Structure 1
């Protein structure tokens, strides 16, 4: 799966009707730099295995693999299980459809014709969560680098045709305070576990924990003369 930069926050829309895809693209196009179409559940799953999406909108009534089946398959795969799913369906629907949608793991359920402003608002919530989760993951990676003394990746080339300059070797960590380092490493590992499962309200708590770790690492480095 290709990971997308957080600023792009791509959206996947799934519907077997071309006019519905056009309408969704018109409503959501300004929210994301990339909106990908799929005309079936099978096509949607292939797209999601190739590329990372911030959110996927799926029509319930499609020939072949229905929206419910598509959502269940998305939630059943490790690569895609955390991607939020919004199910869409027409006005004349079975009253149990919403319940079925939530049981297969859908994050929301909307009935057509939907209010464009409402749809944009709901989708934008998931786009913001996508960006925040990427930012938290980047902070965790930065903390790992601080703890291990790993160098930053080189950002400039040595020149046309020249071999890339090897990174400087990481300095050996100074002696002493091993218990503090072990404690911070342990706390960072716990944050990583939470980060993999984080969605929604948990993100704020994770951000606070990571900020606390950053301060602890800074204090430790100052105390050890790093």
Structure 2
């Protein structure tokens, strides 16, 4: 199943767990979302993957040998590229309800906790929310970049007209009309949100 989002809005989902069966279960549940799924078998692999590509969300097992989920989350937050990627901690039954555990998780950057065994519909819904937020954020970034570009163009045209006026050189009437028309067009585009 392919996602209906434009290719530029797609980002992978990082699945981090030291147990292959758990990764298989996550893939089975999330595969229908139509987004690329990337597996990591350790915290170290997860941190490396986040340095190589963009992710919309990370599903991170808390209990892993070596670098556990909390240490992995702290490491993720230290890097500019991955600092703002939402993390959903996956916890064994009971561990997610321990107040100290939850505090430590949120302190290291958790956006949410999901207890194992997880309800597939709940997990898909939670991941879907983060995918939608990622798409909207990418769309907003594109709109801001376009608006910045249009404002830069307007500033250049205004500077050109000011330069002509300050040097006493009268701009060619046709040149002036064309410049004003381009500025008005750019302003209309900014106002209409195109």
For structure 2, the residue ranges without an aligned partner over 5 or more in a row are: 1-5, 163-185
Residues in 2 aligned to 1:34 and 1:220: alpha-carbon distance in whole angstroms: 35
CA contact 2:61–2:69 (8 Å) conserved in 1: yes
For the aligned residue pairs, the C-alpha RMSD in angstroms reads 2.7
Is 1:120 equivalent to 2:124 in the alignment? yes
Which structure has the bigger radius of gyration?
A: 2
The one of 141, 146, 159 equivalent to 2:145 is 141
Residues in 2 aligned to 1:93 and 1:50: alpha-carbon distance in whole angstroms: 31
| TM-score scaled by length of structure 2 | 0.75
How many pairs were matched up? Answer: 161
The one of 9, 16, 21 equivalent to 2:23 is 21
Question: Measured at CA, do residues 81 and 221 of structure 1 come closer, stay the same or move farther in structure 2, by a change above 3 Å?
Answer: closer
Which residue does 1:155 correspond to in 2? none
| TM-score scaled by length of structure 1 | 0.65
Larger helix fraction of residues: 2
For structure 1, the residue ranges without an aligned partner over 5 or more in a row are: 151-170, 177-216
Residues in 2 aligned to 1:133 and 1:84: alpha-carbon distance in whole angstroms: 13
Which residue does 1:59 correspond to in 2? 61
Question: Measured at CA, do residues 72 and 218 of structure 1 come closer, stay the same or move farther in structure 2, by a change above 3 Å?
Answer: same
Which residue does 1:210 correspond to in 2? none
Give, in angstroms, the shift of residue 219 of structure 1. Answer: 4.5
The one of 41, 46, 49 equivalent to 1:47 is 49
